Each structure stands twice: as structure tokens, then as C-alpha cells.
Amino acid sequence: MKSVIMALVFSLLTAVINIAPARAEEPRDTLVASVNQVLLVLNSQESFDQKKAKIQVIIDGLFDFKAIAQRSVGVHWQKFTPEEQKEFIEVFSRLLSNIYLDKLKDYSGEKVEFLEQLSAGKGGAYERYIVKTRILRSGAAISVDYRMYVNQGKIRVYDILIEGGVSLVHNYSVQFISRLNKVSPAELIREIRNKINNN
């Protein structure tokens, strides 16, 4: 799980190298724009707390935390009451954001190449895409693929894959589904909230 989060961090903090051009208003452009926004914030003269607050806004605008949260619990989602669903999305997004923001200090000038954008077909009203990137760090290259969708002009990330197979959603799904086979949704939410408060 740490490798997934670190790859996410470096992807959003690294200098941009454009390899494959894309038309405007496409997922790849949205990803590149978000990286540029983060870099502008990091290079500003604001305090670290101010930078974290602004980067949180960028993260919230790029990732569909509702979709990520729902996919991470699979069929158990139907066991959550509407209020529990809302609360789970809130605590899970806070957990992911806190992990990401805590890793900001580990950035040391890595670069990322934005490669091709591939169509992944339709999912209902959603056009799905994979945006392929490659992180260049200490002479090594790490592939990071972003699963993104377009729906009514909205472009969001709903999963990331490291080295072609390690999925952010799948990693949490394994943990959460295992717990939900033993405890209630309310208990899982309590456990996540306690983890946030203790870190």
C-alpha cells in the first residue's frame, strides 16, 4: 500500500515531461493541469499549512472519492445506510488525503513522463480512460496508470495502478471487505476514524 501512495504523491509533485500530446478537455490534460497547480503551490512562499490546504482542494477536484470509497467495499456498500455511506466517504477520503499530504516532505525532485491516453470503453454514461505515466526516480522508472472517467464534462480519477497491477482500490478493498465480513459498517467507520485521530 505504501508503494501505491508514494507513487501517487510523486506523480502529483514531479516536474512534467509531456511525451504524447492530447486534445484539450481530455483526461490526460486534466492530470497534467493538476500537477502544474500542485507545483505552483509548492513553489510559493506560503507556509506549509497553507500549501497543504490548497493542495487538498486540488486533490478533491481530481479524485472521485465517492467512487473510490464505494468500489473499495464492493457488494458491502448496500449494507451501509445512506448516512453511513456519507460518513464512510468522508473518513476514507480524509484517510487518503492525510497519507498523501504527510508524504509531501518526501518529495526530492522526481520527474514524471505523461505518456499515452487509452480508451477503456464505456461504463454506463461514463467514458473510461487509462492515462499512462512513468516516474523517473534514482535511475529507475515506475509505471503509474490512472483510471479516469468523463461524464457530462466532469473528469475524475477513480483508481490508480502501479507497475500494471497494484491497484489503490484493490489494496483497500482487500482490507475493508475482510473487516466487513466480521464487523458492521459502523464499526469499520469507527476504526478508520480512530486511525485518523491517532496519526
Burial class of residue 197 in the structure, from the number of CB atoms within 10 Å of its CB (0-12 exposed, 13-18 middle, 19+ buried): exposed
In whole angstroms, give the CA distance from residue 19 to residue 10.
18
State which residues form the domain around 71.
2-198
pLDDT reported for residue 84: 98
- Rounded Cα–Cα distance for residues 55 and 42 (Å): 9
Q: How many domains does the chain have?
A: 1
The CATH number of residue 100's host domain is 3.10.450.710
Q: Is the separation of the CB atoms in 80 and 185 below 8 Å? A: yes
Q: Mutual orientation of helices 168-180 and 65-73 as an angle, nearest 10°?
A: 50
Residue 130: helix, strand or coil by DSSP?
A: strand
| DSSP one-letter string for 141-189 | EEEEEEEEEEETTEEEEEEEEETTTEEHHHHHHHHHHHHHTTS-HHHHH
Averaged pLDDT, groups of 10, the chain, 199 residues long? 56 53 72 86 84 90 95 96 98 89 71 89 87 84 92 92 86 95 97 91
Radius of gyration, CA atoms only, the chain: 17
Measured distance CA(144)–CA(161) in Å, rounded? 6
Secondary structure in 3-state letters for 24-50: CCCHHHHHHHHHHHHHHHHCCCCCHHH
* Cβ neighbours of residue 78 closer than 8 Å, sequence gap 6 or more: none
Do 106 and 9 contact (CB within 8 A), yes or no?
Answer: yes
pTM: 0.83
